[in-house]
Amino acid sequence: MYASTGQPDRQVLVLPDLHGRADLLLAALEFAPQAHFISLGDALDRGPKSLECAEILLDLHRAGRATLLMGNHERMAVEGPKWYRRFRETGQPEDYRRALEGLQWWMVNGGRSVRAEAGELTLERFPGPLLDYLDALERLVYVDPAGQIHRELPVGPSVMVVHASPPKAHPQYPSPESAALWLRPFDGPFTLPPTVAYSVHGHTPVRVPSQLGAQVYLDLGAYETGRLALLPLGERRPSDLEP
């Protein structure tokens, strides 16, 4: 696995799927109060405190202490607002129809828990902090041995961090970057750039942090199990956090 020639300049921890478990997020912050967190996405849906998770992560991001990646649940959540913004610009009924369909796509796949938490959630009354969180999301980053985060592949060694899998062309998805939000280990094998030592993912539930080939999977099903795995980049083994 990945090894650096010395200690990184800062501690970087990969944070997998929270699914509304703000209590576990707060426990992670207490566990590593100085760390920079890379959230793998799927902070929303299912659990009781999705909005609180989004607001805490956004505050960390604004303070320079978190890099926020999109999960497939955030991808569904953003579809309705994306088309509603377009409708506000164009006034075209087709754009409003697509906005309604996008909102419903999210609702039937976990968004109803966020609506219940918010008390009211429509295209016209979409929580502002949640929109800000969705706007801050990225798809994929690389982390070098010094703990620096790159949006493009760096020249030297690095680790890839992305929600579900390394980007891969797949007939069900419009692009490799889109597929990287949805694919499972059985959709492999996955190819990494020569300078990338391994990749880190959530999305696929595992009983313990697991390495399959050059992919590391961290999602312990925190919503149901109350267990959250944190992976320090530059370390050889994931560390298990159970508040």
Q: What is the pLDDT of residue 3?
A: 35
For residue 216, which of 147, 151, 143, 149 has the smallest C-alpha distance?
Answer: 143
Share of the chain above pLDDT 90, in %: 92
Give me the residue spans of the domains in the chain: 12-69+139-241, 75-132
Asked whether the beta carbons of 163 and 41 are under 8 A apart, the reply is yes
Please say whether the beta carbons of 149 and 69 come within 8 A. no
What class has domain 12-69+139-241?
A: alpha beta
pLDDT for residue 242 is more than 50: no
Instruction: Say how far apart CA 144 and CA 155 lie, in whole Å.
Output: 10
Average pLDDT of the chain? Answer: 93
4 token code pair: 């650096």
Radius of gyration of the chain (CA): 18
Distance between CA atoms of 159 and 199, rounded to whole angstroms? 6
* Residue 44: exposure state from Cβ atoms within 10 A (0-12, 13-18, ≥19): buried
Give per-residue pLDDT as tens, 27-72. 999 999 999 999 999 999 999 999 999 999 999 999 999 999 999 9
Separation between Cα atoms, residue 229 and residue 42, nearest integer Å: 14
| Beta pairing, strands 228-232 & 239-241 | antiparallel
Q: pLDDT tens for residues 67-118? A: 999 999 999 999 999 999 999 999 999 999 999 999 999 999 999 999 999 9
